[in-house]
Chains A and B, each alone.
Chain A
Amino acid sequence: MTEERDPERLAAGQQSLIKSLIEDGRKELPSSTQLEALATKLGPVLGGGGGGPGGGGPGAARPGSVAASNAAGMGLATKLGIAALGVVMLGTVMRVVTASESAPIPLAPTSEGPTPAEPAPASSTSPPPDPGTPDPAASPPSAVAPPPLSDSPTPSARPSSWHPLEGGAAPRMPKGAQNMAPELRLLTEAQINLHSDPAKSLALCNDHAKLYPKGDLAQERETVAIAALVALGRTADAQRRADAFKATYPDSPNIRRIETLLSSP
């Protein structure tokens, strides 16, 4: 995005070495594997529940790091449980993403408005254990293997039918938090593809909308979808989706970004 007073960007100018290097620089986005590793480290933060990963495991804060002061919130066992579960859930959603890449994804009608976020349920009522006491039931995320792949995963499978926890550790977190990691994974894929393949990004967003019509990341999904529509030159569809977004989420901080997207040339 460029404002009126802003100079023309070097990459928008005539062909030159620096122009091509900048274009190459924009292509350097992390791979799915790299993002998954990062999401695993951030498991307690992303997977539901407050506080940082101060409890240990691969995502543990290094002494003196920014995370060291981020210990408020859930107890150690809950944090580690969420982190471990996050890995399981990420493994599960990878199947869905892989399936969605290999099979045609039906696009949701563009006139379909964003769905309101699912109200998050109350948090676990179990008291957090003493942060200084290790919980033998909690294992580090890296020690948790993803569930075996099913023979024919389909992108239309509802998350509620996956049961990634069957036979595994008992969840000790709110339902909304349990569903966060797969949602996150799918939406991150959409974001990664936004500039290189906006059609795929839009398809992933619409897939997300089908899988998680009332998902916790509905606002982010709609923002990415609108950006993809703009990138595809489908400005009327983008505007329609933006209007629906504003009607559903009138106080969303994403509205400013959406307006910027729509006003870009």
Chain B
Amino acid sequence: MVPALLTTAIDTAGVFAEHGAYAWRVLRRLGVRESDVEDVCQEVFLIVHRKLPEFQGRSSVRTWVYGICVRAASDYRKRASHRKETVTDSPPELASASDPHGEAAGRQARAMLDRIVDELDEDKRAVFVLYEIEELTMNDVATAVGCPLQTAYSRLHAARSIVEKAAARLAAERRAPP
């Protein structure tokens, strides 16, 4: 007979192995600063560990973990707001010839993406990130954020409108002469 606590530990390790990297990524896109993401991700997997025995399998594990990430990111932003901190990262370095692998360019692109999704409120941002970046189905998105499916569609529609405008503005800035 496997002790319940050991079973839980094994399962938590499995969830971490399969979803840890993606939880990290989704937390970043949900506005968790690079310097804080390790701590918030730790919180997520401690919740996973605590709640796993109650997990009924009504959604996929991935959807369930993402739902925890959404709530952890929301709590994080509230804490950061309470501390009157700005939840943004330092500006990325400029790309240069000394960066042959384009890492700086990638960081710039992600900083631009963050600027765009920063324009969304928390609810729309979660739906946009989970659907457009993490590629969950809308059913799973609705489950993860805890809203009716039609509400999720509505948030996605509104988010896209805001994102497209923000992207157009950024594109115009890039085209403008310095």
A residues sitting closer than 8 Å to B (CB atoms) are 1-3, 5-7, 9-11, 16-18, 20-22, 24-30, 34-35, 37-39, 41-42, 45-53, 59, 61, 65-67, 69-70, 73-74, 119-120, 122-123, 174, 176-177, 180, 183-184, 187-188, 191-192, 216-217, 219-220, 223-224, 253-254, 256-257, 260
Contact = CB atoms under 8 A, between A and B. Distances in A.
A224 B170 CA distance: 37
A183 B10 CA distance: 11
Contact of B171 (A1, A17, A39, A122): A17
Interface string B129-162: 0011101111100000000000000001000100
Nearest to A4: B137
Give the interface size class of chain B: 35 or more
A126 to B, nearest CB: 14
Interface of B: 1-10, 12-22, 24-25, 28-29, 37-38, 41-43, 45-47, 49-50, 55, 57, 60-62, 106, 109-110, 112-113, 116, 131-133, 135-139, 156, 160, 163-164, 167, 170-171
Contact of B61 (A5, A27, A35, A253): A253
B14 A219 contact: yes
Contacts of A176: 6, 10
Given A29-B21, A59-B42, A256-B60, A49 B167 contact: no
A1 B135 contact: yes
B144 to A, nearest CB: 13
A253 B63 CA distance: 12
Contact of B46 (A37, A42, A177, A180): A42
A67 B16 CA distance: 16
Given A42-B46, A191-B21, A1 B5 contact: no
A46 B13 contact: yes
B16 A42 contact: yes
Nearest to B113: A21
A6 B12 contact: no
B45 to A, nearest CB: 5
A216 B8 CA distance: 12
A241 to B, nearest CB: 16
A48 B6 contact: yes
B17 A177 contact: no
A182 to B, nearest CB: 11
Contacts of B45: 38, 42, 45-46
Contacts of B135: 1-2, 9
Given A188-B16, A191-B20, A9 B9 contact: no
B75 to A, nearest CB: 9
A256 B57 contact: yes
B60 A257 contact: yes
